[in-house]
Amino acid sequence: MRERFLAPTVGAVVLWGVVVGVASIAAALGTSSTNTLVTQMLIDAIVVVGLQVFIGNTGMLSFGHPAFGAYAGYVVALLTMPVSRKLIQIPDAPWGLAEAEVDPTIATFAAVAVTLVVGAIVGLALVRSGASSGAVAATMITLAFLFVTHEIALNWTDLTDGGGGLGFIPRLDGRLPIVLSLLVVLLVGRWFAESRPGRLAKAVREDGLAAAASGVDRVRPQMAALFLSVLIIAVGAVLRVRALGSMTPSFFYFDYTLLTLAMLIVGGRNSLTGSMLGVVTITAGIEFTRILAGESVSIPGLDWLLRPNLSDLFLGGAMLGFMLIRPRGLLGDWELDHWLRRWIPLRRRSTPGAVSDRSGRKHILEAKGIGATFSGFRALSDVSLRVETGEIVGLIGPNGAGKTTLINVMSGLVPGHDGQVLLDDEDLTGLAPHDLAARGIGRTFQNLRLFSDLTVRENVEIARIAHDRRGHDIDVDALLHAAGLTDVADRRASELDYGNQRRLELIRATATAPAFLLLDEPTSGMGEAESSAMVDFVRHLAGEIGAGVLVIDHDLHFIVSICDRIYVLDHGELIASGSPDVVRNDALVRAAYLGED
């Protein structure tokens, strides 16, 4: 097994042991109603893992995921109900369902398959809307999906018998299938978070724009997370229906959404360990409030609270409280295996070698006649420039001259501009940012954009694994070493000081093995010594990977000292270009840039 999956595997098994252990103790100490509660809790745990896989890894909030459970629940109910019972409840069921009776195992596979088809349809809408209109649109889609599913279940009475629901579904025999399923889904959930699609999804969650600029195409990782979460929820739903022996439209509706989301949010949506803590905490809390609301307890002055729906109040209150005070939940993104890792012996990493061994082919990146307009304001007009591999080209100009906009155009962030972006005479105009990154155009941002909650190493690794390009041979350890970040490689990116964050962003861009690096003010906010160290570092990295560099800086002296050629922008127009000497002595440049007459 690959080393990076070892600790998560151990972690998931231990986590499973703890949850099942707690459940067994509760079941042994309690009454038969506790027994039912424990079964329910273990099933909820499975569903919450399903929610976590999607919501945790993609950061897209979904209210609708339990509705996937409704499809699985109805399929298993319709396929396994005794024919004698169907002829009474749903004699007019379509597709000959009234006469069919299938083995529960086969019915489970059918339920999962049908639910995955529903997931594919909803998922495409979800992931696409997330790309075009943001996370709110995606959340609204999930909510609408929940309502629509409920209405179908209520109204398609030939199939579902309406609100009363379907009964006499063959019951599960003991808790073993639930306990085993929980183990499998915990393992799969933890593996997914460490897998390539899981890590890419997390990068998009942290910063969609920076992920795209690193070559991450958001659709595939997000769809992978969605499919896996739908699969897990379908399994949980089948178990739930078979544990209860019945299925109604309200089983996977608002109450269940509220319950499972509260579990996820209270525990920590970015962590499987946290989600499981949430499941146990919320289950215990509900049980406690249920006992409190019983007639035997009386609290003077608070009796108005002690009503049967006290547990709903508790759920809503817990969610509200956590969203306000501790939105990352009890555990944030801490996983059991982060802690276990100390006891699991890992092979020591080899000493880092060279950053890469790129072949020395020559490439030319060209912007031709670029124009860009923002709501009537002309930010760039007819700007052309060219960078070859192996050279460092400067782009200077006063604030607001259009420098950042030009880099945005060349990295695909300004759709609908005029002119062309060419790589070796191939027209790349109009390509998405992740496609341009995949063609070898890497960039950094004027205002740092790191994957803040991921570790330093993950920031770099994501860029390396985002695409498989030929001749792509970047050593992440060597990059970390070159940037002086080896000792902090396992820290969160957000914990680094500013200079280290700047260097991290630069090596993240380098990790895509770009043919061209577009750097937007890499020394901004740095003192003189730090700036000049940064300049050396840029030069060193570019040399190692054989890239061409286009660098923006406001400091004319700095640019003059490192660049082979310089372009000067002012008010969106190119006013000069040429060697440092030519540009420095250009009258127009001195006027625009240095304020001389």
All residues at 6 or more sequence positions from 511 whose CB lies less than 8 Å from its CB, including other chains? 214, 460, 461, 463, 464, 474, 476, 479
All residues at 6 or more sequence positions from 231 whose CB lies less than 8 Å from its CB, including other chains? 50, 112, 115, 116, 119
Placement of tokens 């902090």 in the chain: 488
Among 119, 130, 329, 402, the residue binding ligand ADP under the rule CB under 6 A is 402
All residues at 6 or more sequence positions from 25 whose CB lies less than 8 Å from its CB, including other chains? none
Nearest distance in Å: CB 521, Mg ion:
6
Binds 149: which of ligand ADP, Mg ion, none (CB < 5-8 Å by kind): none
Q: Where are the beta strands (DSSP E) in 289-391?
A: 364-374, 377-388
Report 380-399 residues binding ligand ADP (CB under 6 A). 397, 399
Binds 512: which of ligand ADP, Mg ion, none (CB < 5-8 Å by kind): none
Q: Which is nearer to ligand ADP, 266 or 410 (CB)?
A: 410
Q: Where are the beta strands (DSSP E) in 408-501?
A: 418-423, 426-427, 441-443
Residue 238 contacts residue 111 (beta carbons within 8 Å): yes
Pairing of strands 418-423, 377-388: unpaired
Nearest distance in Å: CB 401, ligand ADP:
4
Binds 236: which of Mg ion, ligand ADP, none (CB < 5-8 Å by kind): none
Nearest distance in Å: CB 399, ligand ADP:
5
Report 404-443 residues binding ligand ADP (CB under 6 A). 404-405
Stretch in the footprint of ligand ADP (CB under 6 A) among 55-63, 260-268, 401-409, 429-437: 401-409
Stretch in the footprint of Mg ion (CB under 5 A) among 236-244, 402-410, 510-518, 555-563: 402-410
Stretch in the footprint of ligand ADP (CB under 6 A) among 296-304, 352-360, 373-381, 528-536: 373-381
Binds 399: which of ligand ADP, Mg ion, none (CB < 5-8 Å by kind): ligand ADP
Among 400, 471, 484, 543, the residue binding ligand ADP under the rule CB under 6 A is 400
Residue 522 contacts residue 444 (beta carbons within 8 Å): yes
Residue 187 contacts residue 12 (beta carbons within 8 Å): yes
Stretch in the footprint of Mg ion (CB under 5 A) among 396-404, 422-430, 477-485, 568-576: 396-404
Residue 526 contacts residue 499 (beta carbons within 8 Å): yes
Binds 502: which of Mg ion, ligand ADP, none (CB < 5-8 Å by kind): none
Nearest distance in Å: CB 380, Mg ion:
12
Nearest distance in Å: CB 572, ligand ADP:
7
Binds 400: which of ligand ADP, Mg ion, none (CB < 5-8 Å by kind): ligand ADP
Tokens of 1: 């097994």
Stretch in the footprint of ligand ADP (CB under 6 A) among 1-9, 283-291, 403-411, 453-461: 403-411
149 lines the binding site for ligand ADP (CB under 6 A): no
Nearest distance in Å: CB 539, ligand ADP:
22
Q: Which is nearer to Mg ion, 349 or 378 (CB)?
A: 378
Stretch in the footprint of ligand ADP (CB under 6 A) among 148-156, 192-200, 371-379, 494-502: 371-379
Residue 522 contacts residue 511 (beta carbons within 8 Å): no
Q: Which is nearer to ligand ADP, 359 or 399 (CB)?
A: 399
589 lines the binding site for ligand ADP (CB under 6 A): no
Task: Output the DSSP codes for 39-75.
Answer: HHHHHHHHHHHHHIIIIIHH----S-HHHHHHHHHHH
Stretch in the footprint of Mg ion (CB under 5 A) among 58-66, 164-172, 264-272, 439-447: 439-447
All residues at 6 or more sequence positions from 258 whose CB lies less than 8 Å from its CB, including other chains? 312, 315, 316, 319
Residue 50 contacts residue 185 (beta carbons within 8 Å): yes
Among 79, 153, 262, 401, the residue binding ligand ADP under the rule CB under 6 A is 401
Binds 532: which of Mg ion, ligand ADP, none (CB < 5-8 Å by kind): none
DSSP state of 195: S
CA neighbours within 13 Å on the CB side: how many for 434? 21
Helical spans, DSSP H, in 90-218? 104-132, 134-155, 157-160, 176-194, 196-206, 208-213
Please state at what angle helix 6-29 crosses helix 176-194, rounded to 10 degrees.
150
What are the angstrom distances between the C-alpha of 288 and each of 28, 293, 316? Answer: 18, 9, 15
d(C-alpha 569, C-alpha 575), whole Å: 6
Task: Number of residues interacting with Mg ion: please give it, by CB under 5 A.
Answer: 2
Nearest distance in Å: CB 13, Mg ion:
50
Q: Which is nearer to ligand ADP, 13 or 131 (CB)?
A: 131
Among 138, 141, 379, 504, the residue binding ligand ADP under the rule CB under 6 A is 379
What do you get for the CA distance between the two ends of the chain, in Å?
Answer: 69
User: Residue 85 burial by CB count (10 A; 0-12/13-18/19+): exposed, middle or buried?
Assistant: middle
Binds 269: which of Mg ion, ligand ADP, none (CB < 5-8 Å by kind): none
d(C-alpha 54, C-alpha 260), whole Å: 13
Helix, strand, coil abundance in the chain, percent, nearest 5: 60, 10, 30
d(C-alpha 74, C-alpha 86), whole Å: 13
523 lines the binding site for Mg ion (CB under 5 A): no
Stretch in the footprint of Mg ion (CB under 5 A) among 11-19, 206-214, 446-454, 501-509: 446-454
Binds 359: which of Mg ion, ligand ADP, none (CB < 5-8 Å by kind): none
CA neighbours within 13 Å on the CB side: how many for 298? 3
Site mask for ligand ADP (CB under 6 A), range 325-364, x = bound: ----------------------------------------
Binds 379: which of ligand ADP, Mg ion, none (CB < 5-8 Å by kind): ligand ADP
Among 160, 404, 444, 531, the residue binding Mg ion under the rule CB under 5 A is 404
Nearest distance in Å: CB 484, Mg ion:
26
Residue 291 CB coordination number (10 Å):
11
Interface positions with ligand ADP (CB under 6 A): 374, 377, 379, 397, 399-405
Contacting positions for Mg ion (CB under 5 A): 404, 446
